[in-house]
Amino acid sequence: MNWGHRIALVYFGFVALIASLIFRTCKENTDLEYSDYYQREVNYQAEINSSTALLNSGVKPEVKVSAADVEIILPDTLSLTPLSGGVTFYRSNDKNLDQTFSLSGARLLVPCEKLVSGLYDVRMNWTSAGIAYSYETTIAVP
């Protein structure tokens, strides 16, 4: 094999490598976490304030995961007055698996049948006595 053949072989190998990388990259899912990410960024200070309010209260919600369900319990001190809010289960690898549930009391029970097994970011936002709270944690659903 002469030098011309070797150079052509290296060149075509490089072209094949680049073509395969382009093909794999085009098949990659690039969904955004939020479709309104710009507006959320503008209002991010409100989220910081609600997280700080929870830290200042000295307590935090409890998230229990069992084989049958996911239970979210708000502390008594944060749920004495009527509250309203929501809990969102975010699945980072597929936005179609995200689930949102309304939070109207101090306890929320979500059956595991409504969630596909895997890792979820759980984001809770609620208002009690005119004060906004937010909490975020990661769980593994069996």
Say what the pLDDT of residue 132 is. Answer: 92
Interior CA angle at 116 toward 37 and 39, to 5°? Answer: 10
Class of domain 37-141: mainly beta
Q: Domain locations in the chain?
A: 1-30, 37-141
Summarize pLDDT for 49-107 with one digit per residue, the tens.
Answer: 999 999 998 889 999 999 999 999 988 877 677 888 999 999 988 888 999 999 888 89
Q: Which two tokens stand for residue 92?
A: 């980072």
Interior CA angle at 113 toward 111 and 116, to 5°? Answer: 115
Say what the pLDDT of residue 79 is. Answer: 67
Q: Which two tokens stand for residue 3?
A: 């030098």
Mean of per-residue pLDDT scores for the chain: 90
How far apart (Å, rounded) are the C-alpha atoms in residues 66 and 141? 8
Q: Which residues contact 63 (CB under 8 A, 6 or more apart)?
A: 70, 71, 72, 73, 122, 137, 139
